[in-house]
Amino acid sequence: MPEFVTLQVEDGVGTIRLDRPKMNAIDEQLHMEVRAAALEAAGRADVRAVVLYGGERVFAAGADIKAMSVLDGEAMAEWGYELTTSFTRVAEIPKPVIAAVTGYALGGGYELALCADFRVMGAGARIGQPEIQLGVIPGAGGTQRLARLVGPAKAKDLVFTGRHVGAEEALELGLADAVVPDDEVYPTAVAMARKFAAGPPLALAAAKRAIDHGLDMTLGEGLALESRLFAELFDTEDQKTGMRSFLENGPGKAQFSGR
């Protein structure tokens, strides 16, 4: 049984909840439990959207520096590979994923939030990649996902300085997608997730795959991927349901089965 991470499901929304006292520091056990929860959420038909949540006080303050400080390069390569694999499992969940960020999301904590499709921040939350202040660099997606999200210049500013960013600046830079009062972070993320959960699961998965995989392709390759995924959806029950509902009742009224 997991000790620090749970998957709680209600009304089509699965919440991956981090709960490692006191600040959700990311050690090997926690990230492996995150991996297991991500794989479970990906495979469960009753989970149609996912929220990443660290609780009311903090999302995740970063990696467990005490555990990392005793590692040499070879050991860190192995540890970093497993951590990156765990975070990639979150990024590859074929469903909409929203990070609900309260308190701090720093270092590995913000790298985990970067694996989500959207980030909802509390007004008092702070994010950043402070690894440079420890004499290292982000090692679980902070240089790659961050640059893809906001561009290389903004990513370099954050990584080179290691500075913390408040919620309003994060929204302005594109590091966050919404800023709400601290006590409304989780309800807001769940409300967003429920809207996605009402949509067609297969089409949402295809859209996410087309966008995420297309970013690593040439434009021509990306267009070919999009065309293939688009055509494949015409062999699904959801496509028949959606188009029939549109013709008979107008847009936005279809109930999708995920088949």
DSSP 8-state assignment for residue 116 = S
CATH fold label, 5-197: 2-enoyl-CoA Hydratase; Chain A, domain 1 (3.90.226)
Q: CA–CA separation, 175 vs 158, rounded Å? A: 11
Question: Quick check: do 5-197 and 201-249 share a fold?
Answer: no
Beta partners for 180?
122
Provide the 3-class DSSP secondary structure of residue 125. coil
Token pair listed for 145: 């996902």
Write down the catalytic residue from 131, 169, 172, 184. 131
Q: CA–CA separation, 252 vs 238, rounded Å? A: 13
What are the residue boundaries of the structural domains of the chain, listed by start? 5-197, 201-249
Single-letter code of the amino acid located at 3: E
Q: Is 131 designated active site?
A: yes
* Residue 135, burial from CB neighbour count under 10 angstroms (0-12, 13-18, 19+): exposed
Q: Are 246 and 200 in contact (CB under 8 A)?
A: no
pLDDT in tens, 177-230: 999 999 999 999 999 999 999 999 999 999 999 999 999 999 999 999 999 999
Q: CA–CA separation, 151 vs 253, rounded Å? A: 38
Terminal Cα distance for the chain, rounded: 31
Beta partners for 7?
16
Tens place of pLDDT per residue across the chain (259 aa): 889 999 999 999 999 999 999 899 999 999 999 999 999 999 999 999 999 999 999 999 888 788 888 888 888 889 889 999 999 999 999 999 999 999 999 999 999 999 999 999 999 999 999 999 999 999 999 999 999 999 999 999 999 999 999 999 999 999 999 999 999 999 999 999 999 999 999 999 999 999 999 999 999 999 999 999 999 999 999 999 999 999 999 888 899 998 9
| Strands, E assignment, the chain | 5-10, 13-18, 49-53, 97-101, 104-106, 118-122, 126-128, 164-166, 178-180
The CATH code of domain 201-249 reads 1.10.12.10
pTM: 0.93
The DSSP-derived string for 195-247 is: HHHTS-HHHHHHHHHHHHHHTTS-HHHHHHHHHHHHHHGGGSHHHHHHHHHHH
Write down the catalytic residue from 3, 33, 78, 111. 111
**Sign of the C-alpha dihedral computed for residues 109, 127, 170 and 56 taken in this order:** positive
